Chains A and B, each alone.
Chain A
Amino acid sequence: MSDGIELVAGFLAASVRVATPLLLAATGETLAERSGVINLGIEGSMLAGALAAAIGSTAGGPASGLLAAIAAGAALAALFAAVSVHAGADQIIAGTAVTLGAVGITGAAYRSFYGTGGAGLSIPTLGPVEIPLLAKVPVIGPALFAQPVTTYFAVALVPCVWWLLFRTRPGLALRAAGESAEGARAAGVRVRAARTAAVIAGGALAGLAGATLVLAQVGTFSERMTAGRGFIAIAIVVLGRWHPVGILAAALFFGAATALQFVFQASGVGVPYQLFLVLPYVLALLGLAGAVGRVRAPRDLGRREAT
């Protein structure tokens, strides 16, 4: 009985922990896509953020790690924005190239920084911050109120981004740029500036997502450790209908789907573990297929700006 409750509590806590980087990255990508830019480079921003967090945290503690990750993610996004938004190149190819480059740079930097021994488990990480009283609530207490500070930040970001997008002038300009670049420009919106800002903010959040992976989830860095989480975040944006609240729900769903494997590993059921590894990707595919017809992307998403 108490074993069952512990299992459920552990599962919920793991779901939220796994959902955090997905939520951060997807929220960032929402900003970019609402402005009309699809950035496949967020996988690269996440990976760069993960390595920067490992190095930064080793050098100066978790706070330095978080800042370094944000800077690294934003820097790659700025590179992507320069090529896609300013030079007007194909967004998909530019994003793929940025991710490819991040794999190469992080792999090389990691090996020359840590040598063949790997990063080990000596990285200072983010511990859980318990909210008094609430953290003691059975079952849901640990899941919701004893999480690392990055999780609280990710959740707090949801209403903030909603407010920014739907209740402020910059948010209106951003959405206008995504719906129709020409129309927005006619209305006085600086489309390129809006898109650049949205993409860089998105990259910063993806970098932070990578940092949570290292500092609040795994505790170390390994090559290609993001394993497509950036791409899953892009699917989450579609499933969440480009809306912060929808994205929160979709991210939690994916967190739960991924956390299932921990439950099954613990229970020792004889199912190949790869089945659980593929679950998030397969669910993302099913979700994309199912989302069709019910959702509408920003109209100018992925379209090159006419100049």
Chain B
Amino acid sequence: MAGVGRLREYAVPALIVAGAIAALAAALGIAGYDPELALGALWRGSVGSFDAFASGTLVRAVPLIIIALGFALALRGGMLNIGAEGQFLAGAVAATWLGTHLAGWPALLAIPATWLVALAAGLLWIVVPVVLRVKYGVLEVITTLLLNFVAEALVSFMVQGPLQEQTGIYPQSDPIAEAARLPLLPGTRLHLGIGVALILAVVLWFFFARTLAGFRLLAAGSGPRAAALAGRIDVTRMAALALLVSGALAGLAGATEVGGVSYALYPNLSPGYGFTAIAVALLARLHPPAIVVTGILFGALETGAGAMQRDAGIPAVVVQAVEAAIILALLLADARTHRGRAYAGAAA
């Protein structure tokens, strides 16, 4: 019986994704585009060739997987981190700042150093929401959201101020030192970040499935009563820690993006990774190994959307509507089958 439940757990998301893509094709047809051309471009641009898959889809999947793992961790503790976008940018700013000062360092030191400062910056960016939530019960959803806009302004300030490139003309930073750039898989643009994402997925899987702390976090997230039944668990502390780690991971994703893809800080560094990652995590039912799969799926979808824009003239942002439809359909499907996990909303 458990096997059937497991199958159903993943069959519903699979059906929803297929349905969403079919709906996209239908909508494009109605809007006067050529659905065959569009879906063809989507396919070719994402998984149609090894190069598209490795240099496009997987590269795009790296930040999605890393952020989604953090989001899942926090949500398992009953907390919603809707501010990954801001923590990602904070991490990117920190990694760029350090990365531009590391000329001559050995890569073996430079790369971990940028990761560390990015982790710290992501952590710093979520400290205020965590404190407000834990001490005063201010809903972390609103505070993390508000800080996204502060982070955008911070990046805008940095690329026109302290971190602006030497000529002072363009709103971007200088490129980071060679030593701080992530190694690439030969012949592709796939960088070491994919390894980071996979290792984190394994670590989190182990944490949830095999450790007492992981079990306690789940119990804490299931509500105070479940936590009481499972033994003496400091629900607030567990949830706060999970939220902090989710912020740090989003910051790390900023570092892998700067170190592996952009090599510099730009105002539009993130095309909404923080929000797409929510869909990635929910679609995977918050299971770390499944997050790798859904992260690659959404990486493919977004990379393919870029190809769709180039080849069929369809605005790539339409993919965000597809993501939203997937989340809403998933919520509806879950509400039908079972009542799901109660979200412990706070007062203010």
Contacts and interface: CB of A to CB of B under 8 A. Distances in A.
Interface of A: 38, 40, 79, 83, 87-94, 96-98, 100-105, 107-108, 111-112, 223, 227-228, 231-232, 234-235, 238, 272, 274-275, 277-278, 281-282, 284-285, 288-289, 291-293, 295-297, 301-304, 307
A36 B251 CA distance: 34
Nearest to A295: B348
B48 interface: no
Interface in B315-348: 315, 317-325, 327-328, 331-332, 334-336, 339-340, 342-343, 345, 347-348
Interface residues of B, number: 54
B347 A297 contact: yes
B106 interface: no
Given A238-B348, A272-B160, A292-B137, 20 more contacts: A79-B328, A87-B331, A89-B331, A90-B340, A93-B80, A94-B328, A96-B82, A96-B278, A100-B320, A100-B324, A101-B325, A105-B321, A108-B315, A108-B318, A228-B146, A274-B154, A278-B150, A285-B143, A297-B348, A304-B342
A227 B149 contact: yes
Majority secondary structure, A binding face: helix
A87 B336 contact: yes
A104 B324 contact: yes
A235 B146 contact: yes
Interface in B293-329: 314-315, 317-325, 327-328
B315 A111 contact: yes
Contacts of A284: 142, 146
Contact of A104 (B80, B148, B320): B320
A81 to B, nearest CB: 12
13 contacts: A89-B331, A93-B343, A100-B278, A100-B324, A101-B320, A103-B272, A104-B318, A108-B317, A238-B348, A281-B150, A288-B132, A295-B348, A296-B347
A272 B161 contact: yes
B141 interface: yes
Nearest to A301: B345
A288 B348 contact: yes
Contact of A292 (B31, B138, B315, B342): B138
Interface of B: 31, 80, 82, 128, 132, 136-139, 141-143, 145-150, 153-154, 156-157, 160-161, 272, 275, 278-279, 282, 314-315, 317-325, 327-328, 331-332, 334-336, 339-340, 342-343, 345, 347-348
Of the candidates B82, B160, B336, the one having the most CB atoms from chain A within 10 angstroms of its own CB is B82
B335 A87 contact: yes
A63 to B, nearest CB: 27
Of the candidates B315, B321, B325, B348, the one having the most CB atoms from chain A within 10 angstroms of its own CB is B348
A92 B328 contact: no
Contact of A90 (B136, B319, B320, B343): B343
A93 B331 contact: yes
Contacts of B137: 292
